Amino acid sequence: MKPFLENLRSFFQKFKRKPKPRADVPVISEPPTSPRASGALRANSKADRFSIVSWVVTIFIVAALLGSTLYYKSTLPAVNIPAAQPTSESNTGSLGQTQVGEPVVGGEGSVLPSIFRKLQLITNIPERPRYESIIYRVSRGDAMLAIADEYKIKTESILYINTQLEDNPHSLKPGMELIIPPVDGLYYEWEDGDTFESVAEKFDADAEDIINFPGNDIDLTDPKVEPGTLVMIPDGSRDLRAWEQDLQTAGRGANTGTGGSNATNSCGGGPVASGFGWPANAHAISGNGYGPGHLGIDIQADEGEPVYAAGNGIVTMAQGGWNYGYGNVVQIDHGNGYVTVYAHLSTINVSQCTPVGQGSVIGAAGNTGNSFGAHLHFEVRIGGSNINPYDIVQ
């Protein structure tokens, strides 16, 4: 240890400021060294030695701490942290912040605390209500039901406003521009003498809904409308033309009870249905469902796909042509008060007064008449009036 200290001392001596050289003084003239001066020299020597030892100890402690830290880090087992994945709903915070992470397994199989990270919040901007109508251009492949669903309104609301459709959803054509109302209802041009109560009664609506609808921009402190103003009637309705009634119900014979007051007596007796099945291969609705503006359902069916009799009965109509927009059409009287109608067929495989069984192929789906794309228009009537096919067809 002593040689090391001596070397260290000599190293620091290099940096000490050297005294200025002075002229040689004869020994006779040098002052004698007193005992007090010798003691001061010895004290300075001890101070230098203490400084050196302090520096050495400090360097040793720092080196020891760094070495122990590196050694500790090198002995830790490797920790494999999996990528953060969304957890189940049980890990969702009270503020809607989803926590992610799973317990981390160390090298010894010990379980370390998992790391929870907060996902970046995505602001869910609520859909703002719309108070103005918009214009929608019809494209090939569109259907009235799909358009209505997209804008969260009923199909009849589109029919009420767009007079070019003539109350018939099958009048939809590519390139046609439709007015899409902001809510269900219809527009009305205010006339002189109208009141909120009289207009609401006319369209089976509520006067307060008309006044409070923001799109009408009515002063609530003095509610009034100038004649000629176009006003939205929320949830208002009017009668739609029943185009389906243009095609009379054809019954199998007199007093069968299937046709109603406009029935034609065409055929005699025959098989009677005990139940009803689905008339096409697909069970999906491709165009329009049942409702006030469409008294049947449009079933998905490609051109040429088979169309089946929904139940046993007698074919009372098998007729090609326009037929009020039905195109090639077949009717079957099932002998139990029900008549089914199959429209827009590409081909007809049966003739009038032919008996058929449930599941018999009566024709093929097509795009004839007032049709916007191949499908099967299917109706169920009782006593000459239409009912929802879903009520009886399985």
Residue-wise pLDDT tens digits, 190-241: 999 999 999 999 999 999 999 999 999 999 999 999 999 999 999 999 998 8
The residues that bridge with 365 in the sheet, in sequence order, are 345
Domain range 134-234, CATH architecture: Roll (3.10)
pLDDT of residue 384: 84
- Give the chain's count of helices (H) and strands (E): 6, 19
- Do domains 134-234 and 243-391 share one topology? The answer is no
* Main-chain phi, psi angles of 375, to 5 degrees: -170, 175
The answer to whether 360 touches 308, Cβ cutoff 8 Å, is yes
Q: From 269, 268, 352, 344, select the one nearest 318 (Cα to Cα).
A: 352
Q: From 139, 133, 137, 168, select the one nearest 291 (Cα to Cα).
A: 168
Q: Residue 94 pLDDT > 70, yes or no? A: no
Pairing verdict, β 250-251 and 264-265: parallel
The CA radius of gyration of the chain, in Å to the nearest whole number, is 48
Which whole number is the average pLDDT over 17-28? 52
pTM of the model: 0.59
* Main-chain phi, psi angles of 348, to 5 degrees: -120, 125
Q: Can you name the CATH fold of 243-391?
A: Glucose Permease (Domain IIA) (2.70.70)
Domain residue spans of the chain:
134-234, 243-391
Average pLDDT in the chain:
80
What lies within 8 Å, CB to CB, of 108 at 6+ separation is 77
Q: With bands split at pLDDT 50, 70 and 90, how would you rate the model's confidence at 327?
A: very high
Per the listing, tokens 């929320």 go with 234
**Per-residue pLDDT tens for 336-391?**
889 999 999 999 999 999 999 999 999 999 999 988 789 999 999 998 889 999 99
Q: Residue 119 pLDDT > 80, yes or no? A: no
Q: Which residues of 2-33 are buried (b: 16+ CB within 10 A; e: fewer)?
A: eeeeeeeeeeeeeeeeeeeeeeeeeeeeeeee
